[in-house]
Amino acid sequence: MDGYTLIVTEKPDAAKRIASALDKNGKAKRALANGVPYYEAYRSGRIVVVPALGHLYTVSAAAREKGRKRYPIYDYEWVPRYKAEKKASRIKVWLQTITQLSKGADVFVDACDYDIEGSIIGYCILKYACGGREKEAKRMKYSTLTTEELEKAYASLLPHLDFALVEAGLARHEVDWLYGINLSRALTTATKNYSKQYATLSTGRVQGPTLQFLVAQEKRIASFEPTPYWLIKAKIQIGEELFEAEHEKGTIQSKDEAEAIMFNCKGRARKGKIEHVENEEHTQMPPPPFDLGALQTEAYRLFRCTPMRTSSITQRLYLDALISYPRTSSQKLPSSIGYQKILENLARNPEFTRHAEELLSKDHLKPTEGKKFDPAHPAIYPTGKLPQKKLVGLERNVYNLIVKRFLAVFGEPALRQTVKVVVNLQGEKFLLNGRRTLKEGWIHFYEGYARIKDTPLPPVNEGQEVAVRKVALTDKFTQPPPRYDYGSLLRKMEQCNIGTKATRAGITQTLYDRKYVQGEKMVVTDLGSQVTDVLSKFCPSVVSAEFTRRLEEKMSLVQSGQETKQKIIAEAIEILEPVMASLEENERAVGEQLSGAIQQANLEERIVGACPTCQDGKVIIQHSKKTGKRFVGCTNYFNGTCKTAFPLPQSGYVKPSDKTCRSCGWSTVLVWLKRKRPWNLCLNPQCPTKTKKKTAKKKKTLTK
C-alpha cells in the first residue's frame, strides 16, 4: 500500500462520506485494522481515509506530576486520551492503527471539521500519531458533506494547515485546563480534607462567571419587594364582539387614584365615544439565517429542546449531509452555496415543494442576512438532500426548523398594521390596540414558528358611539425578575462574550451535572450558591464575566496573529498564582463551607417526599446499616418519633421522581433495570394499581 494519500477525518461517518465522494466509482471499500474501520478509494491514485473519534489527544499533567493530587499545577503536556481518562482505553488501539496506516502514505490531508476543535484534532493526529507530518499536510475545507462540495474541496486543497487557528485552539484548551484542574482540585481537596469524604466539585474560566449570573439573579429575586399597583379595564362592544380596553394610564400606582377613575366611570347605561383612531403600517424584515446560538435558542423556545440536545441533533443531520456545518457563528449565506440548486432539491421533498417552488419563481434570490460573520463557515442551511431515513421526533422538528428558516430568509418583508383606538368614557380614556398582517411575506414560509399574533379590530370611526359592558378594577403586585432558562442563559453568555459557540451548551449542562442548578427555570441549589460565594470571597476574578471576556478577546488575537500562545499561557499562570495561594491559605474555611452544602445536596437528592404517616418528616432513600439493603424511610426515625418505611427493589438504579401516583396521590420513585425503560414505583403498599395486579396474578394462578 505504499505511496497513497492518507486523509484524516473527525468522525467515522464523515470518513465514509468523504471516501465515497472521492472514489471515482462512488464505492469506497470499507476495511478493518485492529477493529478500527477505515476506507480505501481510488481517484487518480490510492486514497486511504481514516477517522478519529473526536479528540484523541488531551491536555494532562506532565508525567512527573502523575499520581500527585497537590495544587497548584502548571506543568502539563498533550497526551493520548487513554493516558488521561480511564474510560478511553479504546483510543490506544485507534492511535496504533492510524500510526500503522500513516507509514505507507506520502501525502497527508487533514479533513477534520474546519473550526478550532477540528483543527486541533487533525493537528494532534498528524503531529503525534503520524510522526510529525503536521507541517507538510494539506487542509481540506468544506461546509457540507455533499458529494459535490467534497469533490470540490479535494480538488482545491489548502497548501497547509491553518496554524493560527491551531494555535488559538491550543491556547484555549491549555488555559481552560489550567483554570479547570487547579480551581476544581482546590475545591475538591479542601472539602475532602475537612469532611474526610470525596465529592466532585468543579469550576473554571467560563463555568464560574456563568454560575455567577444565576446566583446574582437568585439574589435579585430573593431581595425583590413586591409593590402594589392597579389596572382598570373595560369590556367594549363593537358590533357583536367584545374587546378589552385598558385605561390610558396603564399601571396605576395609587389606590385612591384608581378608585377615583372608577367613580368617574359609574353609570348603568354607559356609552363610550371613539375619540381617536390611529392606523400605522410598518414592514417587518425576515429573520437572519441561523447561527448555532440562535438555532439552540429557537429550538428551546419552540420544542423545549436543550442546547446540548440541539447540538447533538445538528451534528447527526450534518453527518447525514442534510445540513451544513452547524458549529458556526455566521449569519451570512454567500451565493456560492447555490441558492437555486438547494431550493430545487428541497422542492423534491413533498413537505417543502410548494414553498420552494414559490421562491424559485422569483426573478432574483437574495437572502436577508445578519451582522455576524464567521470566516470558517456560512450560516446553517439545508443542503436539499432528501433524508435517507424517516426523521422523527425532535430530529424532524429541528430539521424542519432549519429548512423553514432558510426558506424564510428569501421571503419578502411582511406588512403589518397596528390600530390604536381611544375610547372616551365619561372623561376617562381607554385604549384599544389591534394588530393584523396585511401581507405575509416571509411569515408565509416560516409558518408555525414566527412570533406573530394577529388581534384585529373591526372598522371604527371617530365620533362613533360604543357600548361599555363592564369596567373592572384589579389589584396586582409587581413580579420579581424571571429566572434564566436554557435560551436566556445562552443569550447572556453570548452577550458577555464568554465561552464559544461550541462550548456554551456543555458548560450549561455541567452546572446541572454538578448539582449547582436544578429545574427548567434554573434554580441555584445551596451547593451552587456556596461554590460561588467561596470563589467570590477568596478569588473574585474567577467569577468575573469581565475578566473572562478580556481573556476571550486575547485568545481571539492569537487566531489573527496579534498575540502568541506562549504569552497568553504566561499571563494565565500569572493571574492564577495569587488565586491558588488564597484558596490554599483558606483551605479549612473553604472546606467547611462547601462540606455542609454537599451534605445538604446529597440529602435533597434522596428526598422522595413528605412522610404520609407523621406529615412533618421526609421519606428518603436509605441503606440499612445491618443488611445493606436499600429502602425508603422517614427522617423522623432517627429521633424515634416515626417508624414509617417502604421496601425498594434491590437491583437497578433508583432515584426520587417529581411525579405523584395517578391512582392514590402518593410519592413515587423512578426505577431503572438493565436494558429497560425507567418506571414509576408508587410507595403506597395499598395503592389500587398494586391491588389490581395482585388480583390479576391470583386469577391467573387459579386458572392454571
Domain of residue 571, CATH code: 1.10.460.10
Which of 357, 382, 408 is where one domain is finished?
408
CB-facing half-sphere around the CA of 442: CA atoms within 13 A: 25
Domain termination site, one of 161, 194, 213: 161
> Using CA atoms, how far apart are residues 508 and 505, in angstroms rounded to an integer?
5
Q: Is the pLDDT of residue 101 over 80?
A: yes
178 and 107 in a single domain? The answer is: no
The listed range with the strongest mean pLDDT (203-217, 261-275, 551-565) is: 203-217
Angstrom distance (rounded) from CA 78 to CA 95: 14
Classify residue 53 as exposed, middle or buried by CB count within 10 Å of its CB (0-12, 13-18, 19+).
middle
Tell me what the mean pLDDT of segment 579-605 comes to.
87
Residues 6+ positions from 259 with CB-CB distance below 8 Å = 473
For residue range 315-364, list pLDDT tens digits in order: 999 999 999 999 999 999 999 999 999 999 999 999 999 999 999 999 99
Q: In the chain, how many domains are there?
A: 6
Model-level pTM? 0.86
d(CA 460, CA 272): 13
CATH assignment of the domain containing 276:
2.70.20.10
605 in a structural domain: no
If asked whether residues 400 and 427 sit together in one domain, one would say no
pLDDT class of 638 with cuts at 50, 70, 90 = confident
Could you tell me how many residues make up the chain? 704
> Exposure of 573 by Cβ count < 10 A (0-12 exposed, 13-18 middle, 19+ buried)?
middle
Shared domain for 567 and 690, answered yes or no, is no
Q: How far apart are CA 182 and CA 196, in angstroms?
A: 20
Of 477, 507, 528, the position where a domain reaches its end is 477
**Residue whose C-alpha is closest to residue 522's, from 507, 537, 536:** 507
387/437 same-domain check:
no
Instruction: Please tell me the distance from the alpha carbon of residue 148 to that of residue 472, in angstroms, as a whole number.
Output: 66
User: Is 113 a member of any domain?
Assistant: yes
Radius of gyration of the chain (CA): 31
CATH code, domain carrying 386: 1.10.290.10
pLDDT value at residue 702: 44
629 and 617 in one domain? yes
Question: Same structural domain for residues 8 and 128?
Answer: yes
Residue 518 lies in a domain: yes
Full DSSP string of 485-525:
-HHHHHHHHHHTT-S-TTTHHHHHHHHHHTTSEETTTTEEP
Question: Looking at the structure, do residues 527 and 554 belong to the same domain, yes or no?
Answer: yes
pLDDT value, residue 695: 54
Where is pLDDT greater, at 648 or 438?
438
pLDDT at 700 over 80: no
Give the per-residue pLDDT at 330: 95
Residue 620 domain flag: yes
Per-chain mean pLDDT for the chain: 91
* DSSP secondary structure letter of residue 638: G
Which strands make up the sheet holding 607-610, listed edge to edge?
607-610, 618-623, 630-634, 645-647
Average pLDDT of the residues in 93-119:
95
Confidence of residue 675 (pLDDT cuts 50, 70, 90): low
Do 299 and 346 lie in a common domain? yes
> 433 and 498 in one domain?
no
* Confidence at residue 606, expressed as pLDDT on a 0 to 100 scale: 82
**Which domain, by its residues, includes 12?**
4-161
pLDDT in tens, 29-58: 999 999 999 999 999 899 999 999 999 999
Flag whether pLDDT at 602 surpasses 80.
Answer: no
Q: How far is CA 232 from CA 171, 245, 254, 431, in A?
A: 59, 9, 12, 11
Q: Grade residue 598 by pLDDT with cuts at 50, 70 and 90.
A: confident
DSSP letter, residue 201: -
The answer to whether residue 255 scores a pLDDT higher than 60 is yes
**Domain presence at residue 473:** yes
325 in active site: yes
State residue 341's pLDDT score: 96
Same domain flag for 87 and 150: yes
Q: Can you give the pLDDT at residue 67? A: 67
Q: Say how far apart CA 391 and CA 378 lie, in whole Å.
A: 24
In this structure, are 14 and 66 located in the same domain? yes
604 domain residue, yes or no? no
Give the sheet arrangement for strand 679-682, strand by strand: 653-660, 667-672, 679-682
Among candidate residues 4, 39, 325, 339, the one labeled active-site is 325
Mean pLDDT across 75-89: 93
**Is the pLDDT confidence value at 146 over 80?**
yes
606 occurs within a structural domain: no
Tell me: do 494 and 380 sit in the same domain.
no
Distance CA 180, CA 191 (A): 16
Percent of the chain with pLDDT over 90: 70
CATH number at residue 112: 3.40.50.140
